[in-house]
Amino acid sequence: MVVTPDLNAIIGYANDRIAQVLAMPGLVVISQTAAVGNVITDLGFASLGK
């Protein structure tokens, strides 16, 4: 179990584990980028009050 307040560390760790299981590193880059983008979008909308 990973305990960290760093969202990127959590996402990176999860994606590394997925990559080890699937042996598909390319998928990890795409999913990590999408996840971070979604978080940024969510935070942006929250700060705008939408």
pLDDT digits (tens, 9 = 90+) for 1-50: 556 677 777 777 777 777 677 665 555 555 666 666 666 666 665 555 54
Residue given tokens 């699937």 in the structure block: 22
Structure confidence at residue 6 (pLDDT): 77
Q: Cβ contacts of residue 35 below 8 Å, gap of 6+?
A: 11
Residue given tokens 């760093």 in the structure block: 6
Structure confidence at residue 50 (pLDDT): 46
In this prediction the pTM is 0.31
Helices vs strands, H then E, count in the chain:
2, 0
Q: What single letter denotes the amino acid at residue 7?
A: L
Q: How far apart are CA 3 and CA 10, in angstroms?
A: 8
